Structure 1
Amino acid sequence: MQVSPDNSQITTSPQETLPIQPLEKNKRIDALDILRGLCLVGILLMNIEWFNRAIISLGGQDTSLTGVDHAVGWLIRCFVEGKFYKLFALIFGMGFAVMLLRAKEMDRPFGAWFSRRMFVLLLIGIAHMIFIWGGDILHDYAFAGFILLLLVRKKKSQEPKSYLKLGLTWLIVPIFLTSLAGIIFGTVFNDAKFQEMWKSELDIYTLVEQKFSSKSEMDSTTSTEITNETTIKPAEKTEHVELTDEEITAETIATAIQDRLDAQADIDKENRAFTEGSYWEATQYRISFSGVMLMFSPLITLAVLIPIFILGFWLVISKTITQHQQHQTFFKTLARVGLLAGIPLNVASLLIIQHPAASISFVLLGAGEILFYIAQLTLAAGYLGLVVFALNKQKWQRILSVFAPMGQMALTNYLMHSVILTSIFYGYAGGQYGEISRAPQMLLVFGIITGQLVFSKWWLSHYRFGPMEWLWRSLTYKKIQPMKV
């Protein structure tokens, strides 16, 4: 299958009435299903933490962990966090290309059909976010899918290399811009200025911490009282009087204290909703929280998902993944570079982020976060290369193929994670929220994945699709799909 030069014209003549049909099982690309299954394992390892603590702190390190719990949490953050949802996005782009090329091969309409598919996924994602778990990613994939469709239709050049160039450029530009900002900052701030900035940050941090050093003091002092102790009068702000260094420091401290109080209040609100509240009260919280998630969707979609979608699209239209047996050198190199560079980068970035100084210095924290993002992309690429290269070996293909049924039912299994874990943790069900520490959570992950491997294989031996895949397809094709094999 080749992409023709006029591939931007995705839809065919209006008289065409035969719809695209779902792929038969023997026509699926096994590598994609295996990758989806493995991604589900990584996503569950990451997500389970956020069923057991406030998701409003998503991405933040749990500093209360010690011993084995700390070790497990650190290792997951190093080797799992941020890697597998990016891999899943890459697979999404691959799936888009497979459907597009198949539509062109069969001379079928595609644009309206795929738009309907993304609209259904968006509805599923929003329903998941509101009624089950607030950390949904499906709605972001749906938004990105609409943009990818528009991009492919409008793009003049349909040569595979042009998509590779576009995807890599899209990923690199934000990294380059932040690096450029770092270069400018580094050249402007000499050692004396750094020392001055560090001393100021340390002094402010110390004063703020003193306000929170005693829990009894916090319990007996209201937010307003703390703020009034350190902030300047409103009249001084509105009159635009030039502030002294002491007044600027006082205002900074007051703002930091209020931010800390607000953040803790948000965490407490979420904890109450999922420990003390009924299902309806938890749903009300999820409705309000969905506004926060949707607010960040454009950033996640444009800055992260779209370039990865494009690279996934390129992997298929260039036949690099569909004929991976003929591209072993590429995937072997990807594995070596990705792993050899990605592991040290992840370790280094986390050591920076988790150092106590990073909570004081925005320079250290910013540098660590940028490095961590680059490390996530690098290690995700290494994982992709490793798995696909391994699939060229019969032994590893046989071992990894056990994940294919789970990947074929990826939507069902992803949503099943949320149903199972909210039933275990949330107060309106199992009531274990905050009670199961990080290490024992791995036993839950093992049990869930084992169960899904067995269930998926059994289900697909009797039915063509997973339950949610069947619903998704039926709504997309506007026709009830046959379920029996």
Structure 2
Amino acid sequence: MMQVSQEDESVIPTPQLQPLDKHKRVDALDILRGLALVGILLMNIEWFNRAIISLGAHDTTLTGIDHAVGWLIRCFVEGKFYKLFALIFGMGFAVMLLRAKEVGRPFGAWFIRRMVVLLIIGLAHMIFLWGGDILHQYAIAGLILLAWVTYKKTEDPKAYLKLALMWLMIPIFLVSFLGSILGMVFNESKYQEIWQNELDIYTAVEQQLLTNTDVILEKNDAIDSEESSAEETILTDEEVREITIAETIDQRKALQADIAEEDTAFMQNSYWQATEYRLGFLGFMLMFTPIMSLVVLVPIFILGFWLVVTEKITKHQEHHKFFSLLAKVGLCVGIPLNVASILIIQHPAAGISVVLQGVGQTLFYIGQYLLSAGYLGLVICALNKQKWQKLFSAFSPMGQMALTNYLMHSVILTSIFYGYAGGQYGEISRAPQMLIVLAIIVAQIFLSKWWLNRYRFGPMEWLWRSLTYKKMQTMKL
């Protein structure tokens, strides 16, 4: 056997961690990433045309085909595709980690740089383009995922699956526990009493908002004054009711003022004033980042990790039964659950009853995960059939340039809607918005393919990789 001297060993080059060549990429991930971008755009376009501060609230002014489109998007798109994109993120993380182990290179410092760069890109996106960015949340959750991989106690993939599913179930368990307590404590007469009280307050608030709230606000001020002068004063039921009405009116007015402020910021023709608003709005959005990252994104990332280490996604042809079951269960249970939950949430009674709203939102939360799983299973099953491969492969280049295409959505849509560009904010309703989505997706499919026939990466992917690897990446093929 040939012996290698110490001097010879010192000149043997250390394997370098480099971006994946085209032939080493997992095509299913690129296709899924491209399709997820379509769903994200279908969801996001509404919030370039409406105030993001009311994110998740249904537009009750819609009628006719606009209402139908809005309802369908909320039922079949909202909350589903960013979860699918998160799953792909976890898959991509696992692919990169396994490749780093293959070439014998450290992974942690490299991935931290990758996430820090993504965080900076996300924050810049929020400040200079659009306040609804999700990249910064993926970056924070990615760092948490790295910590989990570093300190996990076992290499058993089954343990990953159990952990992820239990993690995702925590909010559902908590809400179910609270609901069980309410169900046991409140009998029919108590529910009737609560409902009547909620209905009375809702009716009074609506009447006061339509007329003049000064009288009831003055009453509330008088009650507060009396309460401060005598700490042991016991309020009557009528006084409590008046305070509740006044506080509800204050909250409604504050929300309307916030919406009006955001609308004004994006309807005016000054880019810098709009940017100033986004900068102030940044703090509000960042408050939700830890919750979103820990409760939603990290467990989904772990599920994606599990799909790769078990080779279910990298060798999906061998796991057709698994994805077929995923599609059947996800779609057959997820669709009725989403339909039922949206019908409950959008019913006028849910706007009055906290219980009804809570039930509807919980069912919607569960339905989002099931339908996301159904979509994943459906696409993978389709990819296992040759007649569908050509159709879905058109989304692969779009998925390879996901970061560039995602940011381009913001460039295009702010150019259409915001006052400092196209000035169509609040002017284009839901149905016509779908034509804009169609045009963007078709253009990005062709442009992405054209670009990748000439260059190795999309422009933003090149920047991301260059900063991550701390050297300029070769662009041309």
- 1:161 and 2:158 equivalent? yes
Q: Partner amino acid for 1:430?
A: G
Question: 1:431 is matched with which residue?
Answer: 423
Question: 2:393 is matched with which residue?
Answer: 401
CA positional deviation for 1:230: 4.4
TM-score calculated relative to the size of structure 2: 0.96
**Are residues 107 and 224 of structure 1, via their aligned partners in 2, closer, same or farther at CA, if it must alter by over 3 Å?**
farther
- 1:473 and 2:470 equivalent? no
CA positional deviation for 1:200: 0.3
Aligned mates of 2:161, 2:387 — CA distance in 1: 31
Mapping of residues 243-392 of structure 1, within 5 Å: 243-392=235-384
Q: Which runs of 5+ in 2 are unaligned?
A: 1-11
- 1:198 and 2:188 equivalent? no
Aligned mates of 1:76, 1:277 — CA distance in 2: 30
Contact 2:323 2:378 in 1 (8 A): yes
Contact 2:223 2:239 in 1 (8 A): no
Aligned mates of 2:274, 2:414 — CA distance in 1: 11
Q: Partner amino acid for 2:200?
A: D
**Are residues 337 and 232 of structure 1, via their aligned partners in 2, closer, same or farther at CA, if it must alter by over 3 Å?**
farther
Aligned mates of 1:98, 1:314 — CA distance in 2: 11
Q: Which runs of 5+ in 1 are unaligned?
A: 1-14
Partner residue of 1:444 out of 431, 436, 448:
436
Question: 1:76 is matched with which residue?
Answer: 73
Structure 1 runs of 4+ with >3 Å offset: 15-19, 223-226, 229-233
Aligned mates of 2:437, 2:197 — CA distance in 1: 45
Aligned mates of 2:197, 2:221 — CA distance in 1: 17
More displaced stretch, 157-166 vs 114-123:
157-166
| SS of 1:462 mapped into structure 2 | coil
CA positional deviation for 1:414: 0.2
- 1:47 and 2:40 equivalent? no
CA positional deviation for 1:212: 2.0
- 1:186 and 2:189 equivalent? no
**Are residues 482 and 253 of structure 1, via their aligned partners in 2, closer, same or farther at CA, if it must alter by over 3 Å?**
same
Aligned mates of 1:226, 1:327 — CA distance in 2: 65
Mapping of residues 134-173 of structure 1, within 5 Å: 134-173=131-170
Contact 1:16 1:109 in 2 (8 A): no
Contact 1:335 1:386 in 2 (8 A): yes
How many residues are paired up? 464
Question: 2:25 is matched with which residue?
Answer: 28
Contact 2:83 2:297 in 1 (8 A): yes
Q: Partner amino acid for 2:242?
A: A
More displaced stretch, 263-272 vs 179-188:
179-188
Aligned mates of 2:72, 2:352 — CA distance in 1: 24
CA positional deviation for 1:235: 2.5
Question: 1:235 is matched with which residue?
Answer: 225
| SS of 2:276 mapped into structure 1 | helix
Aligned mates of 1:227, 1:132 — CA distance in 2: 40
Q: Partner amino acid for 1:68?
A: I
Q: Partner amino acid for 2:454?
A: H
Aligned mates of 1:16, 1:373 — CA distance in 2: 51
Question: 2:5 is matched with which residue?
Answer: none
Aligned mates of 2:218, 2:343 — CA distance in 1: 37
Aligned mates of 2:222, 2:114 — CA distance in 1: 55
**Are residues 237 and 297 of structure 1, via their aligned partners in 2, closer, same or farther at CA, if it must alter by over 3 Å?**
farther
**Are residues 225 and 54 of structure 1, via their aligned partners in 2, closer, same or farther at CA, if it must alter by over 3 Å?**
farther
TM-score calculated relative to the size of structure 1: 0.94
Provide the alpha-carbon RMSD of the alignment.
Answer: 1.3
Q: Partner amino acid for 1:399?
A: L
Question: 2:110 is matched with which residue?
Answer: 113
Aligned mates of 2:176, 2:159 — CA distance in 1: 25
CA positional deviation for 1:17: 5.7
More displaced stretch, 170-179 vs 185-194:
170-179
| SS of 1:212 mapped into structure 2 | helix
Superposed CA offset, 1:256-284 (max 9, x none): 00000000000000000000251010001
| SS of 1:321 mapped into structure 2 | coil
Aligned mates of 2:52, 2:128 — CA distance in 1: 15
Question: 2:3 is matched with which residue?
Answer: none
Superposed CA offset, 1:166-194 (max 9, x none): 10110112211211111111111100000
Aligned mates of 2:185, 2:222 — CA distance in 1: 31
CA positional deviation for 1:478: 0.3
Aligned mates of 1:157, 1:277 — CA distance in 2: 56
Aligned mates of 1:455, 1:363 — CA distance in 2: 49
Contact 2:320 2:381 in 1 (8 A): yes
Aligned mates of 1:234, 1:176 — CA distance in 2: 39
Q: Partner amino acid for 1:484?
A: K
Aligned mates of 2:20, 2:50 — CA distance in 1: 40
| SS of 1:134 mapped into structure 2 | coil
Aligned mates of 2:143, 2:277 — CA distance in 1: 28
CA positional deviation for 1:20: 1.1
Aligned mates of 2:247, 2:460 — CA distance in 1: 47
Q: Partner amino acid for 1:236?
A: E
Aligned mates of 2:358, 2:396 — CA distance in 1: 39
Aligned mates of 1:226, 1:100 — CA distance in 2: 62
